[in-house]
Amino acid sequence: MSYVPVSRRTIRRHRESERSTRRLVIALSAAAAAAWLLSVTMSTAVRVGGYAHNIAVVLHVLSLVVSFGAILLVDWHGFLWLLGRRKLAETIRLDGAATPLIWAGLAGLLATGVFLNPHLNNPMTDVKLAAVLVLSLNGIMLIPLMRRLAHLPPETPFRGLSAGQRIHLLVCLVISQACWWTAIIIGFINAEF
C-alpha cells in the first residue's frame, strides 16, 4: 500500500499505458516473427549469383555494421551506467537515438539475407537464423522496461532499480550479445565454406 496520494485518474492512465505497451510488444513481436519467416521463406525461392549476389553481401555487411555497431554502443554505455560512470538519462537518450539504427540495420539484414543463397540444410545456418529471431524478440521485450526507466529520475543508479529490473536488463544484455555474436560468427564461417 502506498502512502503517496495518487488520483484514480493517474492510476487509470498508468494502467492504460501498461496495456498499450503490452499490445505494442505483442504486435511488434508478431511483425518481427512474420518478417523473419518471410525472409527465410523467400530465401528458399530466390537464387541470385554474380553481381547481384555481391551487392547483397555488401549491403548485408553494411546492415550488420549499422545495427551491431549501434547495439555495441548502447550496451557499452549501459555497462558504464551499471558501473556508475554514466547517468540513466544519458543511457536512455543514447538508446533512443540508436534504436532507429538498430532496427533499420536489422531490417536490412532480413531483406538482404533473402539474396544470399543460405544453406538451410546446414544446422549452423539454422542456429544463425534462430539467433536472429531471438535477438529481434529480445529487443522488443526491452520496450516495457525502457519505458519504465524513462520515468525514473535522471540520476537513478543501476543499484537503484528493483531486483527484477536489474535481472531483466542483465538477462536481455546477455541474450543480445550471445545471439549477435553467434549469428556473426556463423555467418562468417558459412561465407568461407
Give 31-37 contacts, CB < 8 A, sequence gap 24+: 32/133, 32/136, 32/137, 32/140, 33/133, 33/136, 33/137, 35/107, 35/110, 36/110, 36/129, 36/132, 36/133, 36/136
pLDDT tens digits for range 59-90: 999 999 999 999 999 999 999 999 999 999 99
Tell me the mean pLDDT in the region 92-99.
Answer: 95
Q: What are the residue ranges spanned by the domains of the chain?
A: 48-192
* CA 93, 149, 184, 47 torsion-angle sign: negative
Name the nearest CA neighbour of 180 among 92, 97, 106. Answer: 106
Tell me the pTM.
0.87
C-alpha cell at 152: 525514473
pLDDT tens digits for range 21-30: 899 999 999 9
Q: How confident is the model at residue 3 (pLDDT cuts 50, 70, 90)?
A: very low
